[in-house]
Amino acid sequence: MNDALPAYDVVVIGGGPAGLTAAIALAATGARTALLARRSPYPDNRTTALLGPSIDLLERLEVWPRCRSHAAALQTMRLVDDTGRLIRAPEVRFSSQEIGLEQFGYNIENRSLMVALEERAAEMAVLTRFDDEATAIEPLEATVSIRTGKGDRLAARLVVGADGRQSASRQAAGIAINRRDLHQSALTFNIAHSRPHANVSTEFHTPQGPCVFVPLPGNRCSVVWVSTTREAERLMSLGDDELSEAAETQSHSILGRVHVEAGRSLFPLAIERPTKFASHRVALVGESAHVLPPIGAQGLNMGLRDAADIADIAGKAIALGEDPGSPSVLDRYQSARRSDVTSRMIAIDIANRSLLADFLPVQSLRAAGMHLLGGFGPLRRLAMREGLAPTWRRVG
Ligand SMILES: Cc1cc2nc3c(=O)[nH]c(=O)nc-3n(C[C@H](O)[C@H](O)[C@H](O)COP(=O)(O)OP(=O)(O)OC[C@H]3O[C@@H](n4cnc5c(N)ncnc54)[C@H](O)[C@@H]3O)c2cc1C
């Protein structure tokens, strides 16, 4: 391969929702982009609560109109203390109307989002698809050299590593990862129920973690039930009728009769953060750059902001005749992502720890914080705006 003549400006490795979005956003800037990702059915039944700025991005990329009809609007978010502890927090309700929005965002099955992303990617002439995987990734002086499973060789000035938790791109760039196992797991499944959800997402805070019921179109919700790994495994092993009953009990029957739908998945939870977001011509997006417990619907929303930022920064660099994989361009990406990712990881870690803590002063502090949020409008509105995206930036 000729190291002086890379075929692509950017090769995106990994075709999950973050990688597909990054590839579409990069191609939309006119960058010669390749997507190296196997086309395969989405492997689980996860849903994503996509917050407003993510919807704006997907609109701009001509993805959202293709899947909007499969999504349910999220207008109210209820946090309910279900710890049964001596000191309990008051219920807090966040309403999108309070900050002048019709909805905070939409909940959608990842499968439906992926179909829309794949469809949009397939129609972009400037985006070349390799239905394959990267087997070797080697950052060189002026390019990155990539070998694929089918034996193709690609070269690019910049690699976007969207290859998930076990990221080979991250490893190739020599970026280390800090990982903390949470000894909790999330069970995900979808339910049909007899009462309407009224576009209210309800999060019950239990001593083992949150259990959240998030609206889907019709009388359906997705459930993310975080618990100790042992309890999550027990729930996973229940029959449909038993799990329906358990979910109805956990929801305090607010949705009426509950029937679980086919398909469940179990996710061991961890917090993972790389020491850098970019190095050696590789920029990380999505779960290669951050893994969080599913609290506050932040994971993929952050992944989409990664995708928007790398497309913006690399696209502008290419337009100005700069090398998109150069250290100065990677530094711009690193500074763009650092405070957003770090602050959210800290906030979610604290929220999760405060739920699990048996220590009375921590419970009191948590209750006081929730009391303040519930009773003090300006703080609640700030929390809502900050929850959608950092208040100092908006995607879109
Ligand atoms: C229970 C649960 C609920 C969640 N709920 C929400 C939510 O409501 N809102 C939210 O914002 N986030 C949520 N998240 C987080 C969100 O699901 C993830 O952030 C998101 O799915 C990660 O997408 P990704 O594209 O980064 O990674 P992945 O989907 O893991 O994609 C990585 C892709 O790279 C491919 N790959 C790996 N190695 C290679 C290689 N060598 N060559 C080519 N391809 C490769 C893999 O096959 C895979 O397709 C939740 C997470 C969990 C666990």
Mean pLDDT for the stretch of residues 386-396: 57
C-alpha 308/C-alpha 299 separation (Å) is 14
Grade residue 345 by pLDDT with cuts at 50, 70 and 90. Answer: confident
Calculate what percentage of the chain has a pLDDT beyond 70. Answer: 85
Question: Which CATH number covers residue 295?
Answer: 3.50.50.60
Mean pLDDT for the stretch of residues 132-136: 98
Ligand 1 pocket check for 18: Cβ under 6 Å? yes
Residue 272 has pLDDT above 50, yes or no: yes
Q: What is the pLDDT of residues 70-87, one digit of tens each?
A: 999 999 999 888 877 666
Mean pLDDT for the stretch of residues 329-351: 88
Per the domain annotation, does 190 fall within a domain? no
Query: Which pLDDT value is given to residue 342?
Result: 87
C-alpha 305/C-alpha 226 separation (Å) is 25
Per the domain annotation, does 233 fall within a domain? no
Query: Which pLDDT value is given to residue 296?
Result: 74
Whether 298 and 49 have beta carbons less than 8 Å apart is answered as: no
Residue 363 has pLDDT above 60, yes or no: no
The single residue listed with the structure tokens 């191609």 is 27
Residue 54 has pLDDT above 60, yes or no: yes
The CA dihedral of 179, 182, 183, 186, to the nearest 10 degrees, is -110
C-alpha 387/C-alpha 396 separation (Å) is 16
Per the domain annotation, does 372 fall within a domain? yes
C-alpha 349/C-alpha 282 separation (Å) is 27
Grade residue 164 by pLDDT with cuts at 50, 70 and 90. Answer: very high
Whether 306 and 18 have beta carbons less than 8 Å apart is answered as: yes
Ligand 1, atom 2: nearest CA belongs to which residue? 294
Query: Which pLDDT value is given to residue 366?
Result: 60
Query: Which pLDDT value is given to residue 391?
Result: 58
Query: Which pLDDT value is given to residue 8?
Result: 97
Grade residue 394 by pLDDT with cuts at 50, 70 and 90. Answer: very low
Per the domain annotation, does 105 fall within a domain? yes
C-alpha 78/C-alpha 93 separation (Å) is 5
138: containing domain: 8-179+271-388
Ligand 1 pocket check for 301: Cβ under 6 Å? yes
Residue 136 Cα distances to 72, 113, 152, angstroms: 41, 29, 11
Atom number in ligand 1 closest to CA 226: 1
Indicate the average pLDDT of the chain. Answer: 90
Atom number in ligand 1 closest to CA 288: 26
Ligand 1, atom 45: nearest CA belongs to which residue? 14
Nearest to 29 by CA among 309, 226, 259, 280: 309
Query: Which pLDDT value is given to residue 24?
Result: 98
Per the domain annotation, does 383 fall within a domain? yes
Per the domain annotation, does 247 fall within a domain? no
Per the domain annotation, does 184 fall within a domain? no
Q: What is the pLDDT of residues 220-253, one digit of tens each?
A: 999 999 999 999 999 999 999 999 999 999 999 9
The single residue listed with the structure tokens 């996509």 is 50
Residue 189 has pLDDT above 50, yes or no: yes
C-alpha 218/C-alpha 134 separation (Å) is 40
Query: Which pLDDT value is given to residue 396?
Result: 38
The single residue listed with the structure tokens 């405070």 is 339
Residue 268 Cα distances to 182, 186, 221, 271, 341, angstroms: 8, 6, 22, 10, 21
Atom number in ligand 1 closest to CA 186: 1
What does R_g of the chain's alpha carbons equal in angstroms? 21
Query: Which pLDDT value is given to residue 1?
Result: 44
C-alpha 6/C-alpha 330 separation (Å) is 18
Nearest to 37 by CA among 99, 101, 117: 117
Grade residue 66 by pLDDT with cuts at 50, 70 and 90. Answer: very high
Domain total in the chain: 1
Grade residue 196 by pLDDT with cuts at 50, 70 and 90. Answer: very high
Nearest-5° angle of CA 60, CA 164, CA 292?
A: 85
Query: Which pLDDT value is given to residue 94?
Result: 87
Ligand 1: which of 108, 131, 163 to mutate, most ligand atoms within 8 Å of CB?
A: 163
Per the domain annotation, does 199 fall within a domain? no
Ligand 1 pocket check for 282: Cβ under 6 Å? no
Ligand 1 pocket check for 127: Cβ under 6 Å? no
Ligand 1 pocket check for 315: Cβ under 6 Å? no
Residues 6 or more apart whose Cβ sits within 8 Å of residue 171? none
Whether 283 and 333 have beta carbons less than 8 Å apart is answered as: yes
C-alpha 185/C-alpha 90 separation (Å) is 26
The alpha carbon of 203 and the centre of ligand 1 are apart by a number of angstroms equal to 22
CB-based burial of residue 24 (10 Å sphere; 0-12 exposed, 13-18 middle, 19+ buried)? buried
Query: Which pLDDT value is given to residue 99?
Result: 87
Nearest to 50 by CA among 356, 368, 335, 300: 300
Q: What is the pLDDT of residues 106-125, one digit of tens each?
A: 999 999 999 999 999 999 99
Residue 157 has pLDDT above 70, yes or no: yes
Query: Which pLDDT value is given to residue 386?
Result: 64
